[in-house]
Structure formats: C-alpha cells, structure tokens
Amino acid sequence: MGKASKSKQDEYGRREKIAAQRAAAKRAEQRRNGLLIAGGAVIVVIAVVVAFIVVKSNKSSSKPSASASISGAPAGANLTSILHTITTVPTSATDAAGKGGSAVTPPYKTSGQPQLTSGGKPEMLYVGAEYCPYCAAERWAMIVALSRFGTFSGIEPMRSSSSDIYANTATWTFAHATYTSNYVTFSPVEMYTNIPDGQGYTTLQTLSSAQASLFQKYDGPPYVSSSDAESYPFVDFGNQYLIIGSSYSPQVLSGLTWSQIASDLTNSSSPVAQGINGTANYMTAALCKLTSNQPSTACTSTVQSLEPSI
C-alpha cells in the first residue's frame, strides 16, 4: 500500500525497481523453511538445501563475517577516519542534499499498524545480507541517519557479492555492530555473508520469531507483490514506515572506495551525496516522526519539511 499522494507512474517505477532487484538478488536468498530460491527475470528454480545449524540469537553467527578478507578494505587509522567522517556528516551537508532529487524513493507509510518499540523506544528493524548490493547502498544511509540519534561501534567494512549486479560495492556490515541511543532502538540482522555456498551464500544470522513475523507481514502484499515478498533490504521504522528495496541505485557507488564515498558526502551536488544523504534525510524524517522530533540536532527544519511527504 503506497502513499495516497503517489502517482501511478511513481508507483509503477517503484514496483519496476523492486522487480529488477529481485531478478538480481533473490536467486541467492535462502528462505527460512530450508529452501533455496534461485530467482531470475524469467524463471525461479526451487531446490532443497542442506539443513543448517540454528544460531541461538539473531546477534550470533553460524559462520564468521567475511570482513577480515575484504579486498582493499580500510584498516587501522584509515578505517577510524572514514567511520568518523560518515558518522559525523555536517548538518549543512545533509540539509543541502534535501530529498536527494528524483533518484531517491521515500519510505512507505503504513496505516493502522501497532507501534513497534523496544526498551520503551521506537524500534528500527533492518533485515539484509552482506552479498546484497542494494543492502550495500542502503547501509551507508542508515549509518548517516542513525548517527544523528546515537552511537555505533563494531561496524566493519564489507563488499557486496563479486558475482551479482553492481559487484563488489564498497559498504559495511552490521553483523557485529552495536548501537546506543536515548531515542531509538536499532535491530539489524544480516542474514547471509558474501561467501558463495552452492547457488547461495553462507548463513550468518537468523531472525527471532518476532522479527520473522514482522518480515513476513510487511515485506509482502499489500506493500509489495507476492513475487517480490521477503526482498532485501527491508527496513521497518516502528511498523509505521517501510523501506523495501534500496532507496537509490547502488550504481552511484560503483567502482568507488570507502574513502571516496565518505569524502563525497560533503559535496551536496554529487550523485553519492544525493543518494546517501537524501535517503538518510528521509530515514531521519521517519524516525523524527516516531520520536516527536527529538533530538532537535537530528530533526532539523529541512528534515521536518520532508515529514509530510512520507
């Protein structure tokens, strides 16, 4: 169910974008019932996969993240510097990006849904995978947005799959990250690594039963078609706003290093800043709606001006 103000042309464009994402990404998606879905634009092949060990919680991993062997990944002082840059993007830079132009798709608003909270705060649930190029793009914006409300630790560099569309996109993983905030709770789940395993990828984390229920409820009809159900990335803002599929094209990050992407965030006219900061502004607007526009340092006048459009 889209926003009432969205035109049929905009709606068709979003569906078309998600369909394209599914054609590229769902062939590697492993469903919770033990089946491997190998998807393409024309055919979907279903094959039985070997049963895997269920982890104790969604913060545990059956196999380690691949971040230790990521080609060209920043490390040491360089990594620290890049993380500082992307977690402290100046308000002047994000405000200048505004809504990111026509290339950025706003979140969807739900209707009549119970609020999702954790620890007395609005909860933001993210479901993705390290191999997924669309998740790769979305994580940059999530880090920029959430850093306005709290503090990350344990974020690690990652690349999307080397054999998928937008191969080897420089990004991050939340697999071992923690997040602290007085305003919101962030619950990330990275379902799979970028390490090939047959026609799919090795398992990394699993959803709790409550998270799985939300994923199945909101990442499907009427928000997306049944053929696009359980797409990555999936972002649930307190059950009030949803992002299903990437908000902007990962193509703008193609061939760029972590340092180049981070440096571009202060160039408001660049495609990188338009995509990442524009998406981050919409994410911030969704969170500000849930926090009654607190804190004021995050919920700027530019962000609040976007709230009526989501």
In the numeric block, which tokens belong to residue 66?
């691949």
Confidence of residue 155 (pLDDT cuts 50, 70, 90): very high
Residue 256 CA from chain centroid, whole number: 19
Helices (H), 42-120: 76-87, 91-97
CB atoms within 10 A of CB 87: 17
| pLDDT tens-digit readout, 55-98 | 333 333 334 444 447 999 999 999 999 999 999 999 999 999 99
Confidence of residue 103 (pLDDT cuts 50, 70, 90): confident
DSSP state at residue 245: S
Distance CA 220, CA 228 (A): 7
Rounded CA Rg of the chain: 18
CB atoms within 10 A of CB 281: 27
Question: Global pTM?
Answer: 0.82
Predicted confidence at residue 4, as pLDDT, reads: 33
Beta bridge partners of 38: 45
